[in-house]
Amino acid sequence: MSKHPYLRAYLAGIAVPTMLMLVVIIVFVVVRFVFNVPIAIERLLVFPMAVVPNLWGVWNMFYVRLESRRLPLGIHGAALVLLLAPVGFTLARALEIGVVTPGLALTVAPVGLIAYYLLWKHIVGFLNQLLGVG
Amino acid sequence: MNDRDDEKLQELLRNAVGPIADTELKQDLWPRMLGKLDEQTMRASWLDWVLIALLPLWFFFFPEVIPVLLYHL
């Protein structure tokens, strides 16, 4: 299990948002097509489908790379919010997605930090141990 | 390609790859896998439980955060 640690870290990182993507897509599809809320679903899903999983994978590779200088995994994962949130809001603004507004940022930030902390500490940590990285 | 060609090809492949000795497993690997899974039990601290309890409360008082959080997951 000593070969390709970064590949294994990447796979452990992308696993969680990839599984959650199913929930995300179902919720947005139901909101758009069942409740007929006028949201541009094709633009809305670009960020959670393409950017988020890859950034999780790369962030976990970065965690493995840090070795002795690394923070606890939960804190490391929560720090990803500080990178993802501005990217997400910028993309939402560029793609004119009304659901994500800067006004919500302060309300979402604490819950985002908590969710990321818990997901990284418990689920990504479990996968990292299982795959022999971190 | 006739049968003779097939046999010749099989022989060539056998000679190129060579015999694989001792292909049997020495032991059953499943108990080791189960042991490894058991080692990795989830241990949540009191702080984690507090944070887990905070999430639904937050969603109850600020339901508008749900789509934004989903957007970032």
The predicted complex's ipTM stands at 0.79
The pLDDT of residue A2 is 67
Radius of gyration of chain B from Cα atoms? 29
Q: How confident is the model at residue A85 (pLDDT cuts 50, 70, 90)?
A: confident
* Mean pLDDT, residues B1-5 taken together: 76
Average pLDDT over residues A5-32: 91
Residues A96-131 have pLDDT tens digits of 877 777 677 778 888 999 999 999 999 999 999 888
CB neighbourhood size of A11 (10 A)? 17
User: Cβ B70–A23 below 8 Å, yes or no?
Assistant: yes
Report the residue from B40, B52, B65 with minimal CB separation from A108.
Answer: B65
Q: From the CA of A6, how many Å to the nearest CA of chain B?
A: 21
Q: Does position A1 have pLDDT exceeding 60, yes or no?
A: no
pTM equals 0.76
> Would you list the domain boundaries of chain A?
5-130
Tokens of B60: 């109850």
Question: How high is the mean pLDDT of chain A?
Answer: 88
Distances from the Cα of A125 to the Cαs of A119, B26, B41, in angstroms? 8, 31, 11
CA neighbor of A78 nearest in space, from A46, A133, A125, A39: A125
pLDDT at B73: 82
User: Which span out of A5-14, B30-39, B61-70 was modeled with the highest average pLDDT?
Assistant: A5-14
Contacting B with CB below 8 Å, chain A residues are: 17, 20-21, 23-24, 27-28, 31, 44, 47-48, 52, 81, 84-85, 88, 92, 97, 99-100, 104, 107-108, 110-112, 114-115, 117-118, 121-122, 126, 129-130
Residue A62 has pLDDT above 70, yes or no: yes
Task: Give the separation between CA A71 and CA A64, rounded to whole angstroms.
Answer: 11
Residues in chain A closer than 8 A to B64 (CB atoms): 104, 107
CA torsion, points B38, B42, B43, B49, in degrees to nearest 10?
A: -160
Check residue B70 and give left, alpha or beta (phi > 0: left; psi -120 to 50: alpha).
alpha
Close Cβ partners of A63 (under 8 Å, ≥ 6 residues apart): A9, A70, A73, A76, A134
Please choose, from the candidates A111, A101, A91, A108, the residue with its C-alpha nearest in 3D space to the C-alpha of residue A43: A91
Confirm if A51 and A87 have CB atoms less than 8 A apart.
yes
